A and B are shown apart, each in its own frame.
Chain A
């Protein structure tokens, strides 16, 4: 498809496990963002990539969270030693460089039990 694709749509994991969430941005979009949306809240910024490099990771809540984008396209958000408080919808968005309008994927709903 032509839009931002996120997999899996849903992920249930046990507390303490490691998870990876994948984002396929729109082809040609160099800017990629990860957001986290908790229940009753708006999406909150986690990390921004311009090309392959993480230009700003100031939104990552702690060092259990890490994200990569090795070839400047697909990105993976990695969460180690998951906690119940990590349960949320993780959204990925992409845009053309310098463009203010970002296009979102459908999100990955992560549930830590």
Chain B
């Protein structure tokens, strides 16, 4: 069981570039989440999904897009990267709402 995996671990982007952060889980969890964490701050929810084909916005969705075509995968797309998107991005999953979340190791993104 790999749990929640994320790729890449680290990426540097130039302003205006695009990229996709990958997230996969092998626990057959229905719920998946994307968070960003800025230095010294808590986690802010970007998007979440309650099952394949269903996604919804969190607190800070602007500048991001997601899709959920399978139970296992939940990629996060950044279009037109901006310096304000420099952060650590964590993907998480849970069996259902209100249950324990399991996190991936994170992707560190630097936008210059």
Do A and B come from the same complex? no
Residues of chain B having any CB pair with chain A under 8 Å: none
Residues of chain A having any CB pair with chain B under 8 Å: none
